[in-house]
Amino acid sequence: MTDDGTPRRYLQVQQRLQEMLDGGDYQPGDKVPSERELAQTLGVSRMTVRRAVDNLVKLGLLERDSTTGTRVSTPRVRRLLNHAHLHSITQMVAATGGRAGGKLLEFLVTPASVGVAEKLLVPAGSPVVTIRRLRLVDDMPFCLETSYLPARRVPGLAAEDLLEGGSLYELLEARYGIAAAVGESLISVSFATVSEAQALKLPVNHAVLLYRSVVQDTQGQPFEYLKSVNHPGLVVFNIGEGRPGPQEG
């Protein structure tokens, strides 16, 4: 903001460019107009356009190539909704050549709300472990997820177990014998809250992909309810082969 509260010019241009990208005129991999052309179209200086484009590159929405110019970014994470073997995000990022990472934002044991209790088939008010993590691909945030686990199924689970950003599902199987199987999932479009936008480096109220799932073990018992908020420029959902499977961990 300037001193009088007016948004800086480059931020206004950045917003205009994001609206162009969100409008559907450009697909992943499409080349966008040059900085000179954009400056003429928008009636601003090339320096202003360059600063706006720099920000969109940092956000992962655009990518520069020294020979072909600036293009709309292709998704960094391809998440499979129906795959027989790939269950965790960690596996999926690795399968597509990315470097997975994560930050633990919150680890709490709290009474289950009525909604969470219904999903996990536990009494309302019974203790659940709440885990909130920011998932990264090549050090870029692409997903903000919150997992709820019945505390009785994961005795001794602590925040320290998740500080390195590894796979939750691998930990659950190795320590507690809980193997992920099918999941009942729902994908919808939502709009980023202030905290979600800050975590994913998006404008407030920007469209995001909301993924919710009740994940069952191999015995058919739900062991996780999760909410996953995904960056729409970095994540694409695909239907894979095999039985429906969960995506997190």
Q: Which CATH architecture has domain 9-72?
A: Orthogonal Bundle (1.10)
Give the global pTM. 0.70
Sequence-separated (6 or more) residues with CB below 8 Å from residue 246: 87, 88, 169, 180, 182, 183, 185, 213, 215, 224, 226
> How confident is the model over 32-64, as pLDDT tens digits?
898 999 999 999 999 999 999 988 887 777 888
Q: From CA 202, how far away is CA 6, in angstroms rounded? A: 20
Which letter does DSSP use for residue 166 in this model? -
> Helix, strand or coil for residue 172?
helix
Structure-token match 């917003």, residue found: 15
Residue 118 CB: number of other CB atoms within 10 A? 14
Q: From CA 91, how far away is CA 105, in angstroms rounded? A: 21
Domain 77-238 has CATH 3.40.50.300: no
> How confident is the model over 104-143, as pLDDT tens digits?
999 999 999 999 999 999 999 999 999 999 988 888 888 9
